[in-house]
Structure 1
């Protein structure tokens, strides 16, 4: 990967902490040079309900696994520009956009990204997607990883790869050590059955010595994309102990939504999407949205840079929606204010900003300058609704701000 990508990641992650924290932050930034999220872990349905995307809207977002970028395009906005500091995430987003334009039908598109574990995906790549890729993205996917091309992860199961895939594999290993299999959860017929499974089988895992020991290491959650600064925010919700916070988030993921409706739970505990014909899927993978995605894929783009740098090149009042994921949890006050200066300058009247936080509290008051934040209105009701509806369940809160002008 390029030296410039490493410099950008270091600038985003490194804070003014002690030497031990600085070492962990540098380790984390190097992890992000590779693939972390094969699938994004923010619910795009919640995003789209809050953004209320209109045909003339120009949106900017942080890409991660690009499920959000792709899902927003199904609503037909004027444009969606995504950014990511990970070159691997940029390559994944460009692969998805190219596939939406070039694959022959929804069946092929779903096979490639919904199943993502079939040998015939290599023929789909070579015959359809490869010619539609820009040279840099093609070089990434055809570069060697161990003994095969990187694109071969779509033959072996892409959702088992990346830092998140490896983290979930470790979770399943710990569960097996505790003699827990997740198949009863995936076949549960009611929320009561899901709750009973959590109470009887999963909750005791949090009392295992190994789980308690591992949860005390800030690097233990790197596979979830959680740097030291965000780990500390999670621990603050547990009075300094991250374990009860993790227990509550896992309980929400398992118990607050019907398992048939929660593809995040399927990814975590089934290591893929539910194979049933009527299974829950991200909006961009749903057959009913395929034609809209194909029609609007040309309106999407993704670049390897920070959101602040991107917005600095955009005209005043040119954007209607901003999706920050949880990136602000990583930022110091100077970075937060630089970002919100550009957001405020480029926002049109009524523009919306959405983001998640690892902890429950909104991190902006008292940190973003009043002359900036004072021009925005926090929607507490919509934020609470988004928090409750977010099926990924791993964040403390969802937040929505509207630009007052």
Structure 2
């Protein structure tokens, strides 16, 4: 990145501007980057869209694992905690995501029961959740997190009250999914009706007859030609190019259709809570379908017992690693952050990964396109320290129920 950070006011966007901006503010690309940085400065992901079950298998977590991960919506952080690893360091550039991760940790430790925790983070129309926050959780939050949740959003309401309604319809991603439903309804299709299917054959039939044709509609094709149209998925301008490159015709609509097909057709709906969020707009009840591991009752005692092993940092991955001793980290989860990075940033990150990686360390990440982005961009002196586990990468990608990414990639430290 160029280091140009002028053009957007406020400290809350500084970290994100530093991560996103590559072009002059007077260029078309620069304006697009600044728009993305602005919209990405608030809550983006009420739910993280990487499958934690896949992550945990790819990482081969053990009680001795020392993890560094990007926080995002916090779902996966707490899901990793169900395996009781030794330590999890969480980083994020977005202050809303930092506040959400801290809220989840304080809630699992201090809400009276697992059913209270479930109602808070999985329920809809639970008007007492904000009361539970003030009584049980707020006294255990840091001042900045309290200020965020007790501050007011653009609608004038205190942010904590979104848990009284449907938290997963909030945030940039929630609004994007709502917009997708609206666009479908304008064309006579209600995506939620797929939840009435009773077999994978019926799921396929619904997709082929109702969802797939939407991507041929002129309005849908027009909208997806704009990089800004996918900001709601958290896709910055640089990653949009990677997404477009995943199709021979360079049409993002073709890629989106293929990935929605995987979400709708490749897994039974009752086993895929990502599909529940995309189509039904809420989680299932415990007896209806699958849930993220951290919301499953059988893991709650482990979460409560080990919440103190998670440490949340409002800084970049590279900055956190620079402060860690050599050979002190076993597992790294980069999500799709490398798709955003310049070559200089990528090499700076992996310099610290190589320095801090313990014997047997693993790195996992996802990409908008199918191939790993490291060959040809990462310096050979860094890349040569790692083996690419092609089998684990392919298996994990096939099993990833979120279906949004082109590839999952697993690297293992040589000499383990």
Verify same fold: TM over 0.5: yes
Is the CA contact 1:5–1:85 (under 8 Å) kept in the aligned structure 2? no
- The residue correspondences of 1:88-127 to structure 2 (distance < 5 A) are 88-127=96-135
Does 2:306 align with 1:299?
Answer: no
Equivalent in the alignment of 2:185: 176
SS in 2 for 1:399: strand
| 1:208-249 deviation line (CA, Å, top 9, x unaligned) | 110010010011000000011111111011132111101000
- Of 204-213 and 175-184, more deviation after overlay is shown by 175-184
Is the CA contact 1:63–1:93 (under 8 Å) kept in the aligned structure 2? yes
Question: Residues of 2 paired with 1:144 and 1:19: CA distance?
Answer: 34
- Of 313-322 and 120-129, more deviation after overlay is shown by 120-129
SS in 2 for 1:302: strand
Question: Residues of 2 paired with 1:24 and 1:44: CA distance?
Answer: 31
Is the CA contact 2:15–2:94 (under 8 Å) kept in the aligned structure 1? no
How far apart are residue 188 of structure 1 and its match?
Answer: 1.7
Equivalent in the alignment of 1:211: 220
2:19 to 12, 16, 24: 12
Is the CA contact 1:117–1:158 (under 8 Å) kept in the aligned structure 2? no
How far apart are residue 182 of structure 1 and its match?
Answer: 2.8
| 1:67-119 deviation line (CA, Å, top 9, x unaligned) | 11111111000111111110000000000000011011110000000115310
- The residue correspondences of 1:141-152 to structure 2 (distance < 5 A) are 141-145=149-153, 146-152=155-161
2:163 to 147, 154, 158: 154
Is the CA contact 2:68–2:332 (under 8 Å) kept in the aligned structure 1? yes
| CA gap 1:291/1:96 in 2 versus in 1, 3 angstroms | same
SS in 1 for 2:408: strand
How high is the TM-score relative to the length of structure 1? 0.98
Question: Residues of 1 paired with 2:37 and 2:101: CA distance?
Answer: 20
Is the CA contact 2:36–2:231 (under 8 Å) kept in the aligned structure 1? yes
Aligned residues: 405
Does 2:92 align with 1:84?
Answer: yes
| 1:42-72 deviation line (CA, Å, top 9, x unaligned) | 0011000011111111100001101111111
Residue ranges of structure 1 left out of the alignment (5+ in a row)? none
SS in 1 for 2:201: helix
How far apart are residue 278 of structure 1 and its match?
Answer: 4.2
Does 2:236 align with 1:227?
Answer: yes
How far apart are residue 4 of structure 1 and its match?
Answer: 4.2
| CA gap 1:132/1:16 in 2 versus in 1, 3 angstroms | same
Question: Residues of 2 paired with 1:16 and 1:367: CA distance?
Answer: 19
SS in 1 for 2:410: strand
Question: Residues of 2 paired with 1:75 and 1:300: CA distance?
Answer: 13
Question: Residues of 1 paired with 2:396 and 2:279: CA distance?
Answer: 23
Residue ranges of structure 2 left out of the alignment (5+ in a row)? 1-7
How far apart are residue 187 of structure 1 and its match?
Answer: 2.4
SS in 2 for 1:144: coil
How high is the TM-score relative to the length of structure 2? 0.95
Equivalent in the alignment of 1:134: 142
- Of 295-304 and 11-20, more deviation after overlay is shown by 11-20
Does 2:77 align with 1:45?
Answer: no
1:33 to 23, 28, 41: 41
SS in 1 for 2:398: helix
